[in-house]
């Protein structure tokens, strides 16, 4: 078995770095280091396999193969040429090179990408007499390059399709949350599966689905394939052991009820389909009903919702009507519940006339958002209406 201690990086939605670090530490990662948008770590193949299989927050797991200084494109070509790419994968595999940068002095990232691709292919030609082909849409092997002002870091993607692609979503709804962001939101509420959870604006069901996977301790990557399975050093016996260990942790049912509802019939059907494919349909009580006709279950718990916030769904005028009604519904029907509202509309607390007890900055892609916590008590935690401030 390969016991090499590899340096790796796991990107994630901004705002969830601390949660991701906790996840990776629990999976055996060491030398953890948070940066904006991800966590660097060290670990063996076991750690890399487990991180891909069990991480709920990470977007990918990138294995670092080089970290070198550079001054120009020739330095980058030389650094990529110095690596023995054939030790990692065969020339029959297709590749894609993706380059990102921060404070990079070079003029064209496209040209940098081309030089790295040339270096990889030239190395294969010299060592193997054959070279990999480029596939920009569905490559077998993804090579990521990151440039800062002085250094180049090269990574091999061990994941393949992004980790938030659990493999359960087939029907689509407008502006769905990515699964790893939804999982992070659930974890930020502190919900651990021992009290009820309700999402009354569930859309395609991503939040309740991630909650069910958390409650059942189901590894989110069990139903999919990974790029590391195509690596030359892939250890199939080790991988089967890691999968078996993850499956052994699963619970047969959710310890507490999970409720989901939406007024849109298409969204409810999409949610139902997802729950069925994930094997958690019996753990989630799904209903088609308008939010304002819904009375939450008698036993209080946690409400998590992602209402429209005027970027990809709804208009500001729509929200000026929706949010006050939402505030009234919370204050009259949700006493005793702890409510988490994820939104990109930073006017939300003012519009619903409730004072948040906590506000957590998060990003939905490039959209700056907040996860607001409200404790709903008898009479409502009303707040004096003041002009909105940047939360």
> What is the pLDDT, as a whole number, of residue 341?
97
User: pLDDT category, 171, cuts 50, 70, 90?
Assistant: low
Instruction: Return the percentage of the chain with pLDDT > 90, whole number.
Output: 88
Instruction: State the pLDDT at residue 1.
Output: 65
Lowest mean pLDDT among 3-12, 172-181, 192-201: 172-181
Give the model confidence (pLDDT) of 326-374 as tens digits. 999 999 999 999 999 999 999 999 999 999 999 999 999 999 999 999 9
Q: Whole-prediction pTM value? A: 0.92
Percent of the chain with pLDDT over 70: 93
Q: What is the pLDDT of residue 386?
A: 39
Summarised one tens digit per residue, pLDDT across range 189-218 is 999 899 999 999 999 999 999 999 999 999
Please state, in angstroms and rounded to a whole number, the distance separating the CA atoms of residues 349 and 230. 49
pLDDT at 390 over 70: no
Lowest mean pLDDT among 117-121, 247-251, 386-390: 386-390
The pLDDT of residue 379 is 66
pLDDT of residue 389: 43
Mean pLDDT for the chain overall: 93
User: Where does the pLDDT of residue 14 fall: very low under 50, low under 70, confident under 90, or very high at 90 and above?
Assistant: very high
Query: Is residue 258 a contact partner of residue 211, using CB atoms and an 8 Å limit?
Result: yes
41 pLDDT more than 70: yes
Instruction: List domains and CATH numbers for the chain.
Output: 6-157 (3.30.2130.30), 179-220+251-375 (3.40.50.150)
Whether 103 shows a pLDDT value over 60: the answer reads yes
| pLDDT range class, residue 382, cuts 50, 70, 90 | very low
Q: What is the pLDDT of residue 169?
A: 79
What is the model's pLDDT at position 383? 43
Least confident of 107-111, 175-179, 233-237, 252-256: 175-179
Q: Which residue has the higher pLDDT, 176 or 244?
A: 244
């Amino acid at each position: 078995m390969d016991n090499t201690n590899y340096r790796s990086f796991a990107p994630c939605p901004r705002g969830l770095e601390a949660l991701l670090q906790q996840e990776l530490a629990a999976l055996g990662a060491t030398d953890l280091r948070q940066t904006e948008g991800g966590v660097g770590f060290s670990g063996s193949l076991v750690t890399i396999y487990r991180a891909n299989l069990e991480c709920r927050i990470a977007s990918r797991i990138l294995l670092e193969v080089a970290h070198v200084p550079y001054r120009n494109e020739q330095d980058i070509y030389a650094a990529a040429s110095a690596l023995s790419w054939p030790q990692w994968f065969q020339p029959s595999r297709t590749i894609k090179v993706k380059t990102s940068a921060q404070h990079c002095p070079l003029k064209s990232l496209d040209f940098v990408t081309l030089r790295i691709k040339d270096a990889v292919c030239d190395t294969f030609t010299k060592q193997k007499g054959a070279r990999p082909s480029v596939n920009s849409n569905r490559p077998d092997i993804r090579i990521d390059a990151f440039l800062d002002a002085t250094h180049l870091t090269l990574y091999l993607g061990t994941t393949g399709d992004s980790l938030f692609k659990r493999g359960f979503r087939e029907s689509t709804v407008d502006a769905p949350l990515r699964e790893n962001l939804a999982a992070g939101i659930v974890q930020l509420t502190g919900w651990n599966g021992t009290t009820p959870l309700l999402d009354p604006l569930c859309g395609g069901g991503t939040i309740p689905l991630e909650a069910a996977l958390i409650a059942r301790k189901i590894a989110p990557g069990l139903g999919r394939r990974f790029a590391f399975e195509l690596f030359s050093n892939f250890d199939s016996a080790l991988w089967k052991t890691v999968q078996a260990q993850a499956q052994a942790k699963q619970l047969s049912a959710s310890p507490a009820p999970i409720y989901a509802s939406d007024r849109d019939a298409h969204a409810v059907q999409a949610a139902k389909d997802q729950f069925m494919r994930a094997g958690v349909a019996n753990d989630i009580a799904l209903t088609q009903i308008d939010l304002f006709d819904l009375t939450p279950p008698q036993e209080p718990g946690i409400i998590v919702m992602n209402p429209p916030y005027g970027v990809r769904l709804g208009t500001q005028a729509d929200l000026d009507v929706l949010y006050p009604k939402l505030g009234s519904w919370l204050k009259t029907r949700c006493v005793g519940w702890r409510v988490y509202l994820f939104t990109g509309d930073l006017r939300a607390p003012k519009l619903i006339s409730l004072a948040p007890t906590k506000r957590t900055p998060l990003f939905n892609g490039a959209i700056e958002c907040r996860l607001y916590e409200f404790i709903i008590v008898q009479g409502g935690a009303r707040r004096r209406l003041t002009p909105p401030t940047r939360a």
